Structure 1
Amino acid sequence: MNEYRSVDYSNIRQQDETNKVLRNTYMLLAMTLAFSAAIAGASAVLMLPPPGIILTLVGFYGLLFAVEKTKNSSTGLVFVFLLTGFMGYTLGPIIDLLLKTGGTGILMTALGGTALTFFALSAYVLTTRKDMSFLGGMMTAGFVVLVVAMIANLFLHMPVLNLVLSGLFILFSSGAILMQTSAIIHGGERNYISATVTIFVSLYNIFLSLLNILMASSRN
């Protein structure tokens, strides 16, 4: 009897921990999205210049490394907001360009598509509680394909390849959201800072990719 009670209490504690991580992840995600959007809006209004490819890569990967190193402390929260704020800043010039060229519809469609994708993927995992860890191999292969395609695009500058790359980013980022949400509810992810950053970066990539596809379609 005591053994069964111990198992029950263990399951309850595990479920409570899962709910806590999930709740903290979504709370921090909402805060970082709002903060990033505010920075992006300010960057667009002030017409700040694009950071450039080198500064973007250094800033992104440098802050991402800092988050990873401090994710188990309160300092990690500071770096999370620095990272998401910086990513919002990189969106400012794009938003400013769209607003000046009558691309408000494109911007709103990309935002709506990103939100719909996130809610649909999250709802699927949370409702079915399906273990998505089987996607790991495909995600690794997808990452290799993305890297090769990005390198090729740097030299070829083919519009079709650029659109294919955007589509691949959407698929890869959608897979990352599925895996991350599944990892939380199945106990594979216990750090809400790490989970938040993974989902945020995935949403950022989906949004940028949708913008790229919609802008290309508009030009055509």
Structure 2
Amino acid sequence: MQPQFQMTGQASREVSLQQNKVLRNTFMLLALTMVPTILGALAGVQMQFSFMAGSPMMSFVLFLGIAFGFMWGIERTKNSGMGVVLLLGFTFFMGLMLSRILQVALGFSNGASLIAMAAGGTGVIFFSLATVATVTKKDFSFLGKFLFVGMIVVLLAAVANIFFQIPALSVTISAVAVMVFSAYILYDISRIVNGGEDNYISATLAVYLDIYNVFVSLLNLLMIFSGERD
């Protein structure tokens, strides 16, 4: 019986080491993705980048096509260095797309502080929920179905609001998005900690999208409630 217990304990330690390795690599790559995101955002702001601004619906569809193309490529190459290259290219693209809302924010007299507040709030949400997931090691996989439904509802409402442009709906979408994608941070980090995700490139992509959407939604809310025109 003792050799069996020893083998079981060794296997458990190996699994734990692997999970810690995936988590560590995910956090390191996540930090790296912020570099092309910032560079893309700065380039977009400087160029006053506008992604088919005259046709919001076509812009949205094209954005989804490019984004899903990148994500498909990342998943296909997630076990090689090309996965990292595609991920960094994707985050640069997302930085370019982010530049549009940053340009709008900078149109307010307190735009820079709004952006800083949104970034700070996103950081607090991420580190708080990541700490909960890593310290408690609780399995939050039960949230998956609910969060997926919430994400689809947010996406459909965002598409509808392209046509209707209802301010109250915009506020609701942003508020719900903050809650849904904050919960996704908890869910995705928990999956890594508990062995549900064993590839750090896929894990980084998931957590990056969570953080990105929380930041955009927070910035939207701050502009609506705290934006000051000159």
TM-score (normalizing by structure 2): 0.89
Question: Structure 2 vs 1, CA of residues 162 and 100 (structure 1 numbering), >3 Å: closer, same or farther?
Answer: closer
- Cα-to-partner distance string for 1:74-133 (whole Å, 9 max, x where unaligned): 211111011111000111233234335321111111011111110011011111111101
Offset of residue 219 of structure 1: 4.9
1:65 to 53, 66, 72: 72
- The answer on whether the counterparts of 1:45 and 1:96 sit within 8 Å (CA) in structure 2 is no
Matches within 5 A, 1:139-154: 139-154=147-162
Q: Tell me whether 1:203 sits opposite 2:204 in the alignment.
A: no
Distance of aligned partners of 1:91 and 1:151 in 2 relative to their CA distance in 1, 3 Å threshold: closer
Residues 71 and 191, structure 1, Cα contact 8 Å, conserved in 2: yes
Contact 1:59–1:86 under 8 Å retained in 2: no
Q: CA deviation at 1:37?
A: 1.1
- 1:164 and 2:172 aligned: yes
Q: Distance in 2 between matches of 1:207 and 1:114?
A: 6
Q: Number of matched residues?
A: 220
Unaligned runs of 5+ in 1: none
Q: How does 1:40-51 map to 2 (within 5 A)?
A: 40-50=41-51
| 1:91 matched to 2:92 | no
For residues 25 and 227 of structure 2, the distance between their equivalents in structure 1, rounded to whole angstroms, comes to 41
Structure 1 segment 1-220 matched on structure 2, within 5 A = 1-50=2-51, 52-102=59-109, 103-219=111-227
**Whole-Å separation in 2 of the counterparts to 1:29 and 1:12:** 25
Compute the RMSD of aligned alpha carbons: 1.7
Take 2:136 and 2:7, find their aligned partners in 1: how far apart are those partners?
A: 27
User: Equivalent residue of 1:189, what SS?
Assistant: coil
- Most deviating of 153-162 and 88-97: 88-97
The 1:99–1:219 alpha-carbon spacing in structure 2 relative to 1, beyond 3 Å, is: closer
Query: Does the aligned pair in 1 maintain the 2:141–2:190 contact within 8 Å?
Result: yes
Report SS of the residue matched to 1:72. Answer: coil
Report the more deviating stretch, 65-74 or 28-37: 65-74
| Aligned-residue offset at 1:53 | 2.9
> Percent of counterpart pairs with the same letter?
36
